[in-house]
Amino acid sequence: MSMARPTARAGGAAPGATITARGGAAALPVVVLLGGPSAEHDVSLVSGRAVAAALAERGHPVEAWLITLEGAWWRLPPAAADPARPLGDYAAPAAMGGEGPFGAARALETLAARGPRPTVWIALHGPFGEDGTVQALCEAAGLAYTGSGVAASALGMDKALFKRLTGGLGMPVVPWQAVAAGDFAADPSAVARGLEAFAAALPDPRLMIKPARLGSSVGMRIVQRPDEPPELEEALRGAFAYDDLALAEAYLASPRELEVAVLGNRAAELEVFGPGEIFPGHEFYDYHAKYDPGVSRTSVAPEMAERLRASVRALAEAAFLAIGASGFARVDFLVHGGRVYLSEINTIPGFTPISLFPALCATGGHAFGSLAARILELALERHAARPHAPLTREALP
């Protein structure tokens, strides 16, 4: 996977030197986090390099920091952030001239000690990067960062919590059940019987099994015969390889898959773009259908009734506000049998060459570079609005 966007780099710079724009325009410094200890590591590498290059082109001093699969932090030299570089190179950051490894605390203390402090552009996907963990680390270090805060990130990443919240607020979600790995380990037969009964009550008895807190369709599998315990148990084991909580959802055959982009902080100023539509090249929009070139196609302006378009956009905005999201997000929907179902929210959507989120924002005038810069502005706006003065003993109750 590669990103065809151009990058600006300073030849011969020392490890950790900033990528500077071709005009050398002064701008606020940015640190882009990419990689991460997640199954979506490679997707993040593509997103992060594209964001770093786009911000550098707009004049920001940009520094890329790699977080490895093991969780080590490395400050990368400019050439290492080249979008054309093979993804396998990032398994050996020292060989690329990276400086490290650092623990998270030392890395963030180093960044927080700089003047001016950089803003952290989080281009991480999946657990650690998208679930509130790295957001909490940035909060503790006093660093401004892009996207949603700790609580909203956690709610958006956890599909079970997200469905409980939005379903409880009356938004339409498909029938689902959560399965804990501990319960399955203790009595797999009992779990299988419960899911078989759940599936038997559905119009289509097939189930979609997925990890509760992961993205990019990693670990997802269709169970054709929930009444056959070996097939069901194998699907659950596949999901539990990535998480200790799995979801079993009602399977919808050949639904329309719609995505909406939301940009902004305050409810009155949100920008909503789309919906766009995914046309998966596989039975469902799995990892390879998402990221292998030519397998699937997308449209930023699909044909649909205006009533459906308005309904999906309104639900996307409602879901964004329900979890307290900020900055940006992508909200996904399934349309089946004349009904719209809210599927999930992604608080750090992909910025790859085939990602629909930046393409949708471009229809509203936010080209890739201006979109990355706008997300940076929203991060600074959110950070500035928060109280930063330290408490004194006199202020305590």
Q: Mind listing the pLDDT tens digit for each residue in 42-97?
A: 999 999 999 999 999 999 999 999 999 999 999 999 999 899 999 999 999 999 99
User: Is 346 annotated as catalytic?
Assistant: yes
Considering the domain architecture, whether residues 112 and 212 belong to the same structural domain is answered as no
Three-state DSSP class for 227?
coil
On whether the CB atoms of residues 131 and 107 are closer than 8 A, the answer is no
Assigned token pair, 353: 């060459």
> How sure is the predictor about 283, in pLDDT bands with cuts at 50, 70 and 90?
low
Q: Closest Cα to residue 184, out of 231, 244, 251?
A: 244
Given the residues 44, 82, 350, 382, the one annotated as active site: 350
pLDDT at residue 397 in the model: 87
Given the residues 242, 251, 285, 291, the one annotated as active site: 291
User: Is 242 annotated as catalytic?
Assistant: no
Of 138-147, 188-197, 282-291, 315-324, the poorest mean pLDDT is in 282-291
Domain that holds residue 189: 176-250
Question: Is residue 316 included in any domain, yes or no?
Answer: yes
pLDDT at residue 37 in the model: 96
pLDDT at residue 12 in the model: 30
User: Is 216 annotated as catalytic?
Assistant: yes
Question: Is it true that the peptide bond before 78 is cis, omega within 30 degrees of 0?
Answer: no
Question: Is residue 25 included in any domain, yes or no?
Answer: no
Given the residues 16, 36, 38, 40, the one annotated as active site: 40
On whether the CB atoms of residues 87 and 28 are closer than 8 A, the answer is no
pLDDT at residue 3 in the model: 32
Please identify, among 250, 285, 315, the residue that sits at the C-terminal boundary of a domain: 250
Considering the domain architecture, whether residues 206 and 349 belong to the same structural domain is answered as no
pLDDT at residue 216 in the model: 58
Burial class of residue 203, CB neighbours in 10 A (0-12, 13-18, 19+): exposed
Considering the domain architecture, whether residues 121 and 182 belong to the same structural domain is answered as no
pTM value is 0.89
* Rounded distance between C-alpha atoms, residue 54 and residue 49, angstroms: 9
CATH number of the domain encompassing residue 313: 3.30.470.20
Task: Please enumerate, as own/partner, the contacts of 255-259 that have beta carbons within 8 Å and a separation of 24 or more.
Answer: 255/334, 255/335, 255/336, 255/341, 256/334, 256/335, 256/336, 257/285, 257/332, 257/333, 257/334, 258/302, 258/312, 258/332, 258/333, 258/334, 258/335, 259/330, 259/331, 259/332, 259/333, 259/356, 259/357, 259/360
Residue 127 vs residue 8, higher pLDDT: 127
User: Is 153 annotated as catalytic?
Assistant: no
Considering the domain architecture, whether residues 305 and 163 belong to the same structural domain is answered as yes
CATH number of the domain encompassing residue 72: 3.40.50.20
Considering the domain architecture, whether residues 162 and 309 belong to the same structural domain is answered as yes
Please identify, among 218, 250, 282, the residue that sits at the C-terminal boundary of a domain: 250
Question: Is residue 205 included in any domain, yes or no?
Answer: yes
DSSP line for 38-65:
STTHHHHHHHHHHHHHHHHHTT--EEEE
User: Is 350 annotated as catalytic?
Assistant: yes
Percentage of the chain beyond pLDDT 90 is 80
- Angle, CA of 189, 248 and 262, to the nearest 5°: 160
Considering the domain architecture, whether residues 303 and 236 belong to the same structural domain is answered as no
Identity at 129, one-letter amino acid code: G
3-state helix, strand, coil in the chain (%, to 5): 40, 20, 40
Burial class of residue 171, CB neighbours in 10 A (0-12, 13-18, 19+): middle
Considering the domain architecture, whether residues 239 and 260 belong to the same structural domain is answered as no
For the chain, how many structural domains are there in total?
3
Q: Mind listing the pLDDT tens digit for each residue in 290-318?
A: 556 677 689 999 999 999 999 999 999 99
- Angle, CA of 110, 42 and 285, to the nearest 5°: 135
Question: Is residue 99 included in any domain, yes or no?
Answer: yes
> How sure is the predictor about 13, in pLDDT bands with cuts at 50, 70 and 90?
very low
Tokens 């998402």 correspond to 290
* Rounded distance between C-alpha atoms, residue 44 and residue 36, angstroms: 8
On whether the CB atoms of residues 240 and 181 are closer than 8 A, the answer is yes
User: Is 287 annotated as catalytic?
Assistant: no
Q: Mind listing the pLDDT tens digit for each residue in 329-368?
A: 999 999 999 999 999 999 999 998 789 999 999 999 999 9
Question: Is residue 376 included in any domain, yes or no?
Answer: yes
pLDDT at residue 229 in the model: 86
Angle between helices 368-385 and 356-363 (to 10 degrees): 90
Mean pLDDT computed over 203-231 = 88
On whether the CB atoms of residues 332 and 315 are closer than 8 A, the answer is no
Given the residues 5, 332, 343, 382, the one annotated as active site: 332
Considering the domain architecture, whether residues 109 and 228 belong to the same structural domain is answered as no
